[in-house]
Amino acid sequence: MRCPVCGQGRIMRSWFRMHKNCPECGALIEREPGFFLGSIYFNYGLTTLIVAIAFPLLLFNGIADSQTLLFTSLAFVLIFPLLFFPLARSLWLGHDQYWDPRTDIPERLP
Ligand SMILES: [Zn+2]
C-alpha cells in the first residue's frame, strides 16, 4: 500500500480515505476522476472467486449444509470487500503503473 512511483509514501490516509498526492514524492495518486473504478475489478473479482471456490468445496465435501453456506457467503461478500478495499486500490495503482508508467515523476517535496 505504497506509492507506485517512489515505493515510499503510504497511499492511504485511513482505511477508506486516500491521500491526493504521495506524501513522499508528491505524485498524484488519483490520476483522473473515476480512476479507482478499476479497483472494483480486483475487489469484486477476488470476492467472487473465493466464494465460487469455497461454496461448492465446502458443500460437496459435507463440511457445511447449503443454508449455512448461503448465510456465511452472504456475510462474506458484504464484509470482505470492505476489508480488502485499500488493497484493491493499491493493486489497481500498481497495475496502472505497470501498464501506463508515469513519465513525469515529480521531484521530491521539500
Ligand atoms: Zn511517491
For 52-96, the pLDDT digits (tens) are 999 999 999 999 999 999 999 999 999 999 999 999 999 999 999
Q: What is the mean pLDDT of residues 36-62?
A: 95
Distance 98 CA to ligand 1 centre (A): 15
DSSP state of 28: B
Whole-number Å distance between alpha carbons of 28 and 65: 48
User: Which residues in 63-100 are b (16+ Cβ under 10 Å) and which e?
Assistant: eeeeeebeeebeebeeeeeeebbbebbbbbbeebeeee
Distance 44 CA to ligand 1 centre (A): 27
Distance 3 CA to ligand 1 centre (A): 4
Q: Is 85 left (phi over 0), alpha (psi -120 to 50) or beta?
A: alpha
Mean pLDDT of the chain: 91
Distance 96 CA to ligand 1 centre (A): 14
